[in-house]
């Protein structure tokens, strides 16, 4: 098109206006897309006034077969060590500017390994659509991007040091590393054991002393702690924070007190935190 002229107070300025229609490259969970920011991105050229070149957008589209959990993973590589290096990642539910769902994150040195994720882990956060659009915006270096949906976002465990495989026979949402979740489960178990041992606040009562919690009660509490920490995924891959109600009733059948009797009313088996839908 023509070259308009703008006369500033100091220096007359000329510029070219070029409009390109961008294409949305497909994303999948089977392979990461690897891209590099070019030193001289077309159509703009580097110049003495702009020696760093221009930033670029790379656009990607991802579609799920049904409403399910979503995770976009971006790994920044070949960036320099400056804290200002990295990319902006924006995920929306439409390819125009009228998105009802939009999340963005600066993926840079603040993230360990320059690896960042945008997640929709629970049904309540999902916009109800099956198409998502990803805009990666940056200046230097390279990156890879991949998208995952449904149960691809969930993992199985071969067993941890505290929570054995027999207690983790279901897909769970990896909100933390398995070892960290295992540590949390162990801590919860210790807290529950202490609560059952210290019903009257003195570590021992007329019915139950510290050394009288039998193996069945301890095993039931261990299973409970693992189920409460390793949150299961539903059929659509969404994190389900409910605990199987059978896990709770097993504790109250194996142990001499109910949760309510030891002052943990929020753990009572009638609480909404329990569901039969997550029993495996």
Pairing between β-strand 86-92 and β-strand 142-149 as defined by DSSP bridges: unpaired
Between CA 188 and CA 161 the distance in angstroms is 15
How far is the C-alpha of 151 from the C-alpha of 235, rounded, in Å?
7
Q: What is the pLDDT of residue 210?
A: 45
What confidence category does residue 212 fall into, taking pLDDT thresholds of 50, 70 and 90? low
Quick one: three-class SS letters along 140-177? CCEEEEEEEEHHHHCECCCCCCCCCHHHCCCCECCCCC
- 144 and 173 in a single domain? The answer is no
Q: Residue 209 has what pLDDT?
A: 54
CB-CB contact of 97 with 57 (8 Å): no
Q: Which of 109, 130, 153 is the last residue of a domain?
A: 153
Q: Is the pLDDT of residue 44 over 50?
A: no
- Same domain (yes/no): 169, 130: no
Structure tokens at 200: 């009257």
Q: In terms of Cα–Cα distance, which of 73, 237, 280, 217 is closest to 149?
A: 237
pLDDT of residue 82: 52
Are residue 68 and residue 203 in the same domain, yes or no?
no
Give per-residue pLDDT as tens, 180-190. Answer: 999 999 999 99
* 91 lies in the same domain as 49: yes
CATH of the domain at 112: 2.60.120.380
Q: Which domain holds residue 228?
A: 165-275
Q: Is residue 19 part of a domain?
A: yes
Structural contact between residues 67 and 128, judged by C-beta atoms closer than 8 angstroms: yes
Longest dimension (CA), the chain: 94
Q: Are residues 240 and 108 in the same domain?
A: no
Task: Indicate if 75 and 204 belong to the same structural domain.
Answer: no
Q: Supply the pLDDT for residue 150.
A: 95
User: What average pLDDT does the segment 113-132 reach?
Assistant: 92
Two structure tokens written together for 220: 């039931």
Specify the pLDDT at position 30.
74
- For residues 280 and 278, what is the distance between their CA atoms, to the nearest angstrom? 6
Provide mean pLDDT across the span 70-76: 92
| Final residue in a domain of this structure, among 153, 181, 197 | 153
pLDDT band at 238 (very low <50, low <70, confident <90, very high): very high
- DSSP letter, residue 14: E
Closest residue by Cα to residue 106 from 88, 92, 119, 133:
88
CA distance 218 to 221: 5
Do 137 and 190 lie in one domain? The reply is no
> Could you give the angle at which helices 178-197 and 215-229 cross, rounded to 10 degrees?
140
Residue 232 or 11, more confident: 232
pLDDT bin (cut points 50, 70, 90) of residue 39 is low
226: left (phi over 0), alpha (psi -120 to 50) or beta: alpha
| Contact of 141 with 77, CB cutoff 8 Å | yes
Q: How far apart are CA 162 and CA 225, in angstroms?
A: 10
| pLDDT number for residue 118 | 94
The total number of structural domains in the chain stands at: 2
The residue out of 105, 124, 153 marking a domain boundary is 153
Q: Is 158 part of any domain?
A: no
> In terms of domains, do 185 and 269 share one?
yes
- Asked if pLDDT for residue 142 goes beyond 80, the answer is yes
């Amino acid at each position: 098109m023509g070259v308009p002229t703008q006369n500033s107070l100091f220096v007359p300025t000329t510029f070219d206006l070029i409009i390109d229609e961008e294409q949305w490259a497909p994303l999948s969970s089977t392979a990461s897309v690897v891209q590099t920011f070019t030193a001289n991105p077309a159509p703009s050229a580097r110049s003495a006034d702009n020696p760093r070149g221009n930033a670029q957008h790379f656009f990607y589209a991802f579609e799920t077969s049904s409403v399910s959990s979503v995770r976009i993973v971006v790994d920044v590589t070949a960036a320099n060590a400056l804290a200002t290096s990295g990319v902006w990642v924006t995920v929306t539910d439409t390819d125009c500017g009228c998105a009802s769902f939009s999340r963005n994150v600066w993926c840079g040195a603040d993230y360990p390994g320059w690896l960042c994720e945008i997640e929709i882990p629970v049904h309540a956060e999902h916009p109800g659509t099956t198409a998502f659009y990803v805009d990666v915006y940056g200046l230097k270096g390279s990156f890879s991007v991949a998208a995952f949906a449904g149960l691809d976002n969930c993992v199985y465990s071969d067993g941890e040091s505290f929570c054995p495989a027999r207690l983790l026979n279901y897909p769970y949402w990896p909100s933390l590393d398995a070892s960290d979740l295992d540590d949390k489960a162990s801590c919860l178990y210790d807290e529950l054991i202490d609560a059952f041992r210290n019903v009257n606040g003195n570590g021992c009562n007329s019915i139950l002393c510290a050394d009288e919690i039998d193996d069945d009660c301890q095993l039931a509490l261990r299973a409970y702690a693992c189920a409460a920490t390793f949150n299961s995924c539903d059929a659509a891959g969404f994190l389900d924070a409910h605990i199987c109600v059978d896990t709770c009733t097993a504790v109250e059948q194996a142990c001499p007190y109910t949760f309510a009797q030891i002052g943990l009313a929020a753990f009572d088996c009638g609480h909404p935190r329990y569901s039969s839908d997550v029993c495996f």
